[in-house]
Structure formats: C-alpha cells, structure tokens
Structure 1
Amino acid sequence: MMRFILIFIFAVSVAFGQDTINPLFIKSQPIKAEIIGGFDKFDNFYYTTKNNSFFKQDAKNITSFSNLQLGDIASVDVYNPLKINLFYKDLNSFIILDNRLADVFKIDFNTLQPYRNVTHISTGFDNTVWLFNMDSQQLELYDYKQNRSRFRSVPINGKILDLKSNFNFCWLLTQNHLYQYNYLGSMISKIPNNGFEKIAISNEKLIVLKSDKLYRMGKDLSDSQPIKLPNLLIKQFFATTETLYIYDGENLHHYQLKLD
C-alpha cells in the first residue's frame, strides 16, 4: 500500500512539473518608457516616452517619431515592422508608419462615415486593422485604404480589456469572455474569462495575465500552463519567438521561454 502511495505521489509530481513552464532568466535592462512596443523579427526595439515620442532602436541607431497634435499614444503595434500602428485613442485616430518611421497613412474616424468610436486597435493582414467600435459594441476587420469593414461581429457584451492579433488570428478579451477569430472573422473559440486581465501573443498561442501571474494558453484556449517566475511587478509583458519580456516600470526582464 505504501509503495502504491509513493508511486502515485511521484506520478502527480512529474505531471505537475510537466504542466509548469520554467523559463530561463537571460538579463535585465534598465529603461524608462511609457509603452513598450516590443521587438520585431529583426531585433529592433520599440517604445514610447512621456512626451509622446515613439522610438525605434537597433544595434547602432535610434530613430524617433512624434506628432504632438494627436496627443497621447494609447497603444503601439509593431507586429508588422513595415506597417507600424500607433493608436491615439483620445482623438479617435491612428497612424501607419513604415520601417523608417515615416508617416505613410493616417485615419481620423471623426471625419469618416459611418462614424466609429474606437477603443482598441490591432494589426491585421493586408491593409486592415482589427478594431472595437464602442458605439456598436462590435469587433471589426477594417480596411483603412478602402474605408470599409470586411467583417463585423455581432454585438459583444462586457467591458473590453484587450485586443491582440497577427496575420492569422485575432483575440478579444472582455470582462466576460475570451474570443478567438480567424483572419476572415469566423469565431473559432470562446471561453469564460476567469480573471484574465491582459493578453500577449507568442507563436500563435496566448500568454495571459491573471492575479500578477502569467499562463500559457493552448491553441484552442482549452487549457493553460502556469509560467514560473520570481515575484515581479508585471506592468507590461510580451513575447517574441521563444523570449518572454516583462517590464516592471524600471527594468525590462528577458526570459528564454520555449512554448512548443
């Protein structure tokens, strides 16, 4: 009987160890930023500062962009480094920058019909962005060159907490549910929100923040694995390939994180 108990305990402990992701600490770098945009596939680093300037930093140079007339930058999306998305929520506008941080396209929703009151924006494929229209309570795949929506969801109830996307999928986090859509707008997953606060993408999977802890979600959102980390203030977090980044407001911490 005792042998059976020991075998059972060992099996449970092994299973638990497999379910927990143990990242490897790489380094920490001090940085003062308002928003960490992240790293692109060329290892360029993007961030904003208090004066609403946007910066791109590579191994040799730092390039900047600023448009003080638009006010505060609400979000930065550098998933496509050739079409960088800066969202100015207070003025209901966004700007597309090229890889030299030149302003190549600007959309002011206040001047377009039908009017959209946008709260969140994230990069889509081709000439599209995913956006949430607060007035209609709909998620839209918006073609900014043709000024039309390629997709509109049914009205979605609940406060919107986060919106992330890549060329293939879009994830919408509300206070009630977490939704996943494919690039055409078909909803492929929907689960209850059990305390998730923010989301980030890595290798077409999600990392979610819940009660100051991070978890990796499965592709169909059906399971999650805790990511074992030291006690850190998680102000912002993001991932690229196999690296997890956590910003605590003063330092950007790098962790090696194999997700597949």
Structure 2
Amino acid sequence: MKNFATVFILLFSVFASAQEVFPATGRSVIFSGKADVYVGTDQFGAHYFISNNVFSKYTDGKRLDYNNVSKGNIAGADITNPLLLVLFYKDFNSVVLLDSQLNEIRQISFNDPAIPMQVQAAGLASQNRLWLYDSLSQQIWLYDFNAATRRSITPAVTDGIAWYETDLNHFYWIGNSQKLFVSDIFGKVNFLGVIPPNEICRITPTGTLIYVAEGKLYSIDPKKDNTVMIDLPEKSIRGIGYEDQNLFIFTGEGIIKYNIKLP
C-alpha cells in the first residue's frame, strides 16, 4: 500500500556518487485531469486518485467514486489487486475493502478492547490477509479478514515507521533513522540500506525503487546497489508509478506514460 505522509528519505548512502543517466522514451499523455493524490495505475490500465477525500477510479473513459465521510481522511490506498482494493482510515483505526466497481465489500475495525491495536500502516497481503503495523506492540502483523484472526510476525520495530509500502508478499518500511527494511510473510526481515532525502518514492513489482529528489527521478536496484537517474522533460512530478515496463508520471494536471525497462 502507498501511504500519503510526506516522505523525506530514500536510498543508499552511495547516492552521492556519480549516477548513470537513463533516457525514458515513448512519451504519451494518457490522462488529463487534476487530483490531490495519484494512487497509481493498475495492470489493466485503470487510474486511481484521491481528491477531497474521495477515492476515484478512471477506466475506459468512465469514473467511479467511493466516499465514506464517517471514516475521516483516507490515509492509504492499496491497488495491488484491482479486484480487492484496500482503503486505510487511520483516524478511525479501520480498513475498508472494495471490489473492482468500488462497491464496499466490508469494513474492518481494529478497535477491539479485548485485543487493543493502534494501526499505523495497512496493506493487502496474500491469502485473504492484511499487512498491519501496530504502534502499541510495535510489531508487523498479518490479519486474516475471513477468519478475523491475527498474528504478529516480526520483533518490535523500535525505530518506528515513517514510510511504508506493501505488496502481497512483502512489507517495506523506512524507520525514523532513515533505514530501509523489508519483511516477507514469514517474518524474515532484511536491512536494505540507509537513505538520503527525497520527496516521493515507490517500489515497483520487481523490487526496484523509484524516487524523486530535487525534481529529478531516480531508480535503484537494492540487490545491485546501482542508482540511475531517469532523464525526463517534466518539471513537476506529483506522483509516480510503474507497471509492465510502463513508467507513469503524474504532473498534477494529468498522467504521462513512458515505455521503459528499468535497469
């Protein structure tokens, strides 16, 4: 899941060294429109946004909206599975599951006095489960939303979670000391690096990290410890996404698509 707090960190300390410049090609404008937050573009080409606390999906020239005023602000949205979308309402300690038409499947509250939990991060995991980070126990949990059961999978994350993103099998986070970690669904935690400032960052389905620093776009493969600057003409980057070798840049006025295979 992507969370929308301002991100001030990303990636390895080698950032200061010289980077390769990688050109992006095949530029095309695929969507025109304003929004507060660009959530992402899924594998079917649908675009997701949040504006005025309304979650919207644009596909084939049609717009679908979901608005739940009783839940407060949307703190995060997960579009990993377009058939099962996740909205995280941090202020109300709850999650809402939606289908592909943005119909509400269920609401899940974590305000159970028998098992207190203060959720600070949430995303979709595999096998009908949710990733959760609970600030009370300081642990990452897996929650089975069909069985309504939960189990912690990591030791206490004592450095906190300043930023996070999830896929079905991994929970990535950056702590307050600017260290990047990842946990798999079995609770195996790996340290990936200490990172310099950035404004926006995303993790691609292949594990490559893309981020914006001082108006420029970079990618890094943690396995290879290799940072590359992606050459773009856009001067304003408000959001980024990557799917099937397509790079999506949200400028605040629309989405620009590039055909690019990240190094």
Report the AA paired with residue 109 of structure 1: F
Stretch moving more, 86-95 or 216-225: 216-225
Aligned equivalents of 1:24, 1:146: Cα separation in 2: 47
Structure 1 residues 149 and 228, CA, compared in 2 at 3 Å: closer, same or farther?
Answer: farther
Structure 2, unmatched stretches of 5+, are 1-16
Shift of 1:231: 5.5
Aligned equivalents of 1:89, 1:189: Cα separation in 2: 26
* SS class of match (1:41): coil
Aligned equivalents of 2:247, 2:102: Cα separation in 1: 25
Which structure 2 residues correspond to residues 97-136 of structure 1 after superposition, within 5 A?
Answer: 97-111=98-112, 113-136=114-137
Instruction: Using CA pairs under 8 Å that are at least 6 residues apart, name the structure with larger relative contact order, 1 or 2.
Output: 2
Structure 2 match to 1:47:
49
Structure 2 match to 1:13:
none
* SS class of match (1:90): helix
Shift of 1:92: 1.3
Structure 1 residues 259 and 203, CA, compared in 2 at 3 Å: closer, same or farther?
Answer: farther
Asked whether 1:227 is paired with 2:230, we answer yes
Structure 1 residues 237 and 140, CA, compared in 2 at 3 Å: closer, same or farther?
Answer: same
Shift of 1:219: 4.7
1:31-54 CA-to-partner distances (Å, cap 9, x unmatched) read 22122222211112222221x222
Structure 1, unmatched stretches of 5+, are 1-15
The answer to whether the 8 A contact 1:34-1:48 is kept is yes
Structure 2 match to 1:10:
none
1:156-204 CA-to-partner distances (Å, cap 9, x unmatched) read 2335232112223221122321012223221134311233554312232
Structure with more of its chain in helix, by fraction: 1
Structure 2 match to 1:90:
91
Aligned equivalents of 1:200, 1:218: Cα separation in 2: 12
Per the normalisation by structure 2, the TM-score is 0.81
Structure 1 match to 2:155:
154
Shift of 1:98: 1.0
Structure 1 residues 178 and 211, CA, compared in 2 at 3 Å: closer, same or farther?
Answer: farther
Stretch moving more, 239-248 or 139-148: 139-148
Per the normalisation by structure 1, the TM-score is 0.82
- Which runs of 4 or more aligned residues in structure 1 lie more than 4 Å from their structure 2 counterparts after TM superposition? none
